[in-house]
Amino acid sequence: MNKNSKIYIAGHRGMVGSAVWRALKADGYTNLIGKTSSELDLRDQIAVTQFITSEQPEVIIDAAARVGGILANSDYPYQFLMENLQIQNNLIDAAHKQEVKKFIFLGSSCIYPKFATQPLKEEYLLTDTLEPTNEWYAIAKITGVKACEAIRKQYNKDFVSLMPTNLYGSFDNFDLKTSHVLPAMLRKFHEAKAQGNTPVTLWGSGTPMREFLYVDDMAESVVFAVNNVLPEHLYNVGTGKDITIKELAETIQNVVGHEGEIIWDSEKPDGTPRKLMDVSKLKEAGWHYKTELLQGIEQTYAWFLKHQAELKQVKLSK
């Protein structure tokens, strides 16, 4: 791709999409396009087809999805399945029919079986049952991976899927009802500190292990995929290192400066016991993460503090 290649980033206002936009700009790309959900409903097949036909991008990066944590997946299973299927299928099919040169599909490590051998390798896909707490989202994302693989296999097109581990960073979702574990903890500890270091209650036992990747590093992996023709259809993106949820909580507590008690509600679900990615394939291809967890949490908290006024608009779940 040359630096003037037209690149459409679906979901360019979200945490991942906005990071990809910044990273591409920093790499010298000058012809980026994006549409808000009010301007283009990606669930509308006709609207998506018309948009791709009109704009004729050379590259499409699919960073658009309905996302959330265990509670959101449990409360809205149909929306997590159907809306994600609609979004990705409309984009993939339009890209194929309009001869888009490169399509980069972004998914999640939740596509892998719940009890798969650790670390998770790309070839473990569809070898066992999924984690029930997010299977609706996972099934949608697996479908996207397989659609891109099918197009690549049948038509020899440059469609590639990048599966990141748990992401966090600037523009994350800090709504306590719908956010993922790291931003939810960060907000809880911040507000407990502000209320006189009151106790913080967290879900589960604290024993599950999780891997976390700073979103700007994820964006750099997308730029790498734009700049290179990758030989395989599916790549894990992560650090290859994990910690317990308890260790994560204590790290965030220290960064925030909260001095109160942490209470673990063991009656709430833990989710998958461990999710560590084998990131050797992408590392061998030439990409490696840069930001260590402590540094990333510090940068995320600094962003959170800077944008508190906007975040106060979000309704809290008590």
Instruction: Provide the token pair at 158.
Output: 């440059």
Give bridge partners of residue 262 from the DSSP assignment: 200
271 is in an annotated binding site: no
17 is in an annotated binding site: yes
203 is in an annotated binding site: yes
CA atoms of 197 and 260, how far apart (whole Å): 5
6 is in an annotated binding site: no
Catalytic residue among 8, 29, 112, 137, which? 137
166 is in an annotated binding site: yes
167 is in an annotated binding site: yes
318 is in an annotated binding site: no
177 is in an annotated binding site: no
Query: Within 13 Å of residue 214, how many CA atoms lie on the same side as its CB?
Result: 20
15 is in an annotated binding site: yes
- Could you confirm whether 289 is annotated as catalytic? no
210 is in an annotated binding site: yes
196 is in an annotated binding site: no
Residues annotated as binding site for substrate? 188, 203, 210, 270
Residues annotated as binding site? 11-17, 106-109, 141, 164-167, 180, 188, 203, 210, 270
Just list the catalytic residues: 137
